[in-house]
Amino acid sequence: MIDKIVIEPGKSIGDFYLGMDKVEAERIIRTTPLFFKIEWDMNECASFIEVARHPDFNFELLINGFDRIDPFKTKVKEIINNLDVISPYDRGDDLGFTYSFLQMGITFWRPSNFKEEDMNEAWFKEMPLENQKEELKQLYFESISVYKPSQQ
């Protein structure tokens, strides 16, 4: 197990960094069990990097003015409330699934907008325990991506 994968908004995730060439990135992808999605610009350099949560790895989010945390083991509400003070997220997709901090160059995603209050709802309590455990995972992000920050 690798100690930790460092995520720097607008710059990099682990060994992958924005602007890296496709050949180098593909070489690294072959050596990692993590799922990465990388998009390329017209020069075949990385312009977007996304990583999915993996239970066997620790991640560390580096943002000035923000304690170093593991963004996959910290609840959505805590991350968003703290980051929104530093740089407001784009409210264009304010359904609770995607939080894009365009000026920082980072987006957080989860497949559903499950909240802690939902645990008190009848529909949740009626679910089998196995399904409840799956729902509880949605209190955390499932993937994080970095890209060049916007200058807006």
Q: What is the mean pLDDT of each run of 10 residues along the chain (152 residues)?
A: 82 96 93 92 96 92 80 92 86 77 93 90 94 93 94 50
**How many residues appear in the chain?**
152
pTM, two decimal places: 0.89
| pLDDT at res. 96 | 67
Residue 92 CA to residue 16 CA, distance in Å, equals 28
In this prediction, residue 152 carries a pLDDT of: 46
Three-state DSSP at 145 gives strand
Contact 79, 120 (CB under 8 A): no
Cα gap 34→30, rounded to integer Å: 10
Q: Read off φ and ψ for residue 15, nearest 5 degrees.
A: -80, -5
**Distance between CA 37 and CA 48 in Å, rounded?**
8
**Domain ranges (residues) in the chain:** 5-147
